Amino acid sequence: MLKSRSFYGLWICCAIGALIGLSAIGISSPVDKEIIKIEPGLAASSASLICPL
């Protein structure tokens, strides 16, 4: 498995997808507070709703 090129391609795709997901979760609360103008507690709660997706 470690000798195949497809394994490393899939691994890189998985890592990129995980990083994009984590950055989306991390940026959602500040965006909610600045653009949508909601309270910080509600912004944190809305960020926690993204996690199960």
For residue 52, give both structure tokens.
Answer: 């199960």
User: What is the rounded distance in angstroms from the CA atom of residue 35 to the CA atom of residue 31?
Assistant: 6
pLDDT (tens, 9 = 90+) of the chain, 53 residues, equals 889 999 999 999 999 999 998 898 888 888 888 888 888 888 888 878 876 65
